[in-house]
Amino acid sequence: MQKLDAASPEAQSADLVSANVERLKALFPDVVTEGPDGAAVDLDALAALVGAPALSDADEKYGLNWHGKRRARRLALTPSTGTLRPSPRESVDWASTRNLMIEGDNLEVLKLLQKSYAGKVKLIYIDPPYNTGKDFVYSDHFADSLRHYLELTGQTTGGAKISSNTEANGRFHTDWLNMIYPRLKLARDLLAEDGAIVVHIDEHELHALVLVMREIFGEENELGVAVWDKRNPKGDARGIAYQHESIVLFARNAQLLFARSPLKRPKRNAQRMLDAAAGAVASAASRYDANAAYRNWVRSQTALSGGEAMYDRISADGRVYRLVSMAWPNKKKAPDEYFVPLVHPVTGKPCAVPERGWRNPPATMQTLLDNGLIEFGTDETTQPQRIYFLDENMHENVPSILPFGGSDDMLLKSLGIPFDLPKPVEFAASIIDWFAQRDDLIVDFFGGSGTTAHAVMALNAADGGQRRYLLVQLPEPLDADNKDQKAAADFCTALGVPLNLAELTKERIRRAAKLIAAEYPGRRADLGFRVFKLDSTNVAEWDPYSDDVQQSLLAAVEHVKPNRSDEDLLAELMLKLGLDLCARIDTRTIAGKTVHLIDDAVVACFDAPISRADTDALGEGIGELIGAMDAGPLFARDVTCVFRDSSFVDDVAKVNLSAILEQHGVKRIRSL
């Protein structure tokens, strides 16, 4: 039975540096060698293999540089010493939900999530601080970011302060870049290969953000920058009055993303247009009258997009369609066979051919003719055009300009949530729908007002999907004496909860869930969420420099910190063994001991004491439990059994229990 301590790899968050070395070794085995501290990379050998000179940070090269960039890169690679502690009391539908709300510094949380969620997230959708000089900027400490977080949020003493990032501090852009860079580095590893990341930003850091994301995700994976036209110019502008924000979109791998699904959105007004056409046909005496009535209706609709407004015709069988030129699209003319004329069906004469030829080869043109997808003019002098039916083209390419002037201020007011400038749920849901299919995982590690969670629940309720959300929000303290924070602080006081921003996030999700349940009575949707909170690890570290050696020795006997529950230990096991934090946990009693079965992958028993007299019944009971799983004995090799080391009365009990479990095929037996 292997004992896990704070230094054990299985007790730590993902070691991203070692993982990178292993990836490099898989590609170029001869560049990985042994150094004084273990595996090392021969940079000269690597440069020789790829045929490119090695560049140092001091060399001139293309890219964005700032003071602290190397430190920010190292910060992303430094393992976390924390854990996530469950809070069922604050959760909704703890036992059944697949959604997560994590309270903590997102840098530490992103590190802790790597083993469980790397490569599993289809969409990361974030709205980070815009660096306006007013919003809070995360201040990371390289030496001990977890300790700094605990001080920052008032969980330990130390005097850390939260402050705005003002231009007067001389590091305005630098501080923001040092904040966002390591978080985006970690975020990329969470994305599935066909996943995407969407980031809201304004003019203050747009250009820096694009350069950073090109470096992290690769310029070839840039999907573009969309403009969100909010239709309301800023009133405090010193120069141009911006009425838009920007939305930066990147893929983990653009080729794989487009292979899964093209970047399209539903035509917002398509169904309304089909209904209007059907009404025109029903009430008109002729096709001519129906077309005239429908075209007049289209012209009167200011809400139609440019692409939608092109569908202004009704066919003989009542279908809405548009016409598109079939001319060769390039400047150079088409191959010779692309100049074969089409014969007019009435006059029998060849129709005019576009100057540079047709868009399609003769075989394709014939197929279009056979399927009735080409419309001719009154005679051969008019070039024929391609027919596109609206009911076959209900989606459109996402445009670069997204007009949406609505606000959710009234929605949050109706929910009783005091939060300034929340993203509109409808707008967020439309973006999520571009990328996330019905059972995908969406992550927002700047949770804010909880709009992403609200949008995911609303989408699921509307279409019966099973999308999941994972939100992270810093419990940023609220000051009742600050006029900008007073309403939120008073709200928390009235609820009897701590005065911090994460409490607003959780309460907004709870109230949004009730609103959705009322809007969709009888619809089964996951409206719950599990709450976890960032804290220091449950496993105590050996301190060889302690002034109280006797106390240190006693602490070494019991590796688990005091006041930590079985649920705390289970959550840390799930993280460190790479299990989903929403995994099913079955609890039963075997030989008088409480035994937890996590997702048919981990068996944990933390009850004490375990004596020699207990080991036969406990070991056989756990062995039978594992043997009853679907895969039987073969599956036992993949099960991890974990016990509290101090629970064993003596080493004989530990050895006996290990031997019995090994007889049942269990190979991984650990103690804390």
| CATH number for the domain harbouring residue 510 | 3.40.50.150
Same domain, 88 and 194: yes
Residue 134 domain flag? yes
**Residue 551 predicted with pLDDT over 50:** no
Q: How far apart are alpha carbons 137 and 135 in whole angstroms?
A: 6
Please tell me the predicted confidence (pLDDT) of residue 554.
46
Considering 397, 412, 447, which residue would you say is the last residue of a domain? 397
Please tell me the predicted confidence (pLDDT) of residue 545.
47
**Residue 170 predicted with pLDDT over 80:** no
pLDDT tens digits for 249-261? 999 999 999 999 8
**Residue 660 predicted with pLDDT over 60:** yes
pLDDT tens digits for 272-281? 999 999 999 9
3-state SS assignment for residue 14 = coil
pLDDT tens digits for 57-108? 666 677 889 999 999 999 999 999 899 999 999 999 999 999 999 999 999 9
Residue 328 domain flag? yes
Same domain, 392 and 405: no
Please tell me the predicted confidence (pLDDT) of residue 516.
96
Give CA separation, 269 vs 282, 308, 406, in Å.
Answer: 20, 7, 17
The gap from C-alpha 388 to its chain's centroid, in whole angstroms, comes to 36
The stretch 189-207 carries a mean pLDDT of 96
pLDDT tens digits for 223-233? 999 999 988 87
Residue 70 domain flag? no
3-state SS assignment for residue 327 = strand
Same domain, 159 and 222: yes
The stretch 150-168 carries a mean pLDDT of 59
Question: In which domain, by residue range, is 197 found?
Answer: 82-263+399-535
* Between 628 and 128, residue with greater pLDDT: 128
* Between 292 and 133, residue with greater pLDDT: 292
Considering 353, 376, 397, which residue would you say is the last residue of a domain? 397
Residue 77 domain flag? no
The gap from C-alpha 263 to its chain's centroid, in whole angstroms, comes to 17
The gap from C-alpha 112 to its chain's centroid, in whole angstroms, comes to 15
**Residue 54 predicted with pLDDT over 70:** no
Q: How far apart are alpha carbons 444 and 197 in whole angstroms?
A: 10
How many other C-beta atoms can be found within 10 angstroms of the C-beta atom of residue 221?
Answer: 21
Contacts of 158 (CB under 8 A, 6+ apart): 147, 148, 151
3-state SS assignment for residue 478 = coil
**Residue 600 predicted with pLDDT over 90:** no
Please state the φ and ψ torsions of residue 274, each to the nearest 5 degrees: -60, -40
Same domain, 515 and 571: no
Residue 543 domain flag? no
Same domain, 221 and 247: yes
Same domain, 249 and 284: no
Same domain, 224 and 339: no
Q: How far apart, in Å, do the first and last CA atoms of the chain sit?
A: 10
Same domain, 365 and 285: yes
What is the average pLDDT score of the chain?
88
Same domain, 97 and 194: yes
pLDDT tens digits for 454-491? 999 999 999 999 999 999 999 999 999 999 899 999 99
pLDDT tens digits for 317-356? 999 999 999 999 988 899 999 999 999 999 999 999 999 9
Tell me the sheet residues that pair with 314. 320
* Between 337 and 559, residue with greater pLDDT: 337
Please tell me the predicted confidence (pLDDT) of residue 242.
87
CB 290 within 8 A of CB 284: yes
Same domain, 574 and 624: yes
Same domain, 406 and 515: yes
pLDDT band at 185 (very low <50, low <70, confident <90, very high): very high
3-state SS assignment for residue 229 = strand
**Residue 553 predicted with pLDDT over 50:** no
CA angle 30-32-33, nearest 5°? 100
Same domain, 527 and 423: yes
| CATH number for the domain harbouring residue 569 | 3.30.750
Residue 552 domain flag? no
Residue 551 domain flag? no
Q: With the CA atoms of 197, 200, 205 and 210 taken in that order, what torsion angle do they form, in degrees rounded to the nearest 10?
A: 30
Q: How far apart are alpha carbons 586 and 578 in whole angstroms?
A: 18
The total domain count for the chain is 4
Beta strands (DSSP E) in 165-255 are 191-201, 222-229, 244-251
Q: How far apart are alpha carbons 441 and 460 in whole angstroms?
A: 12
Residue 62 domain flag? no
Considering 397, 423, 445, which residue would you say is the last residue of a domain? 397
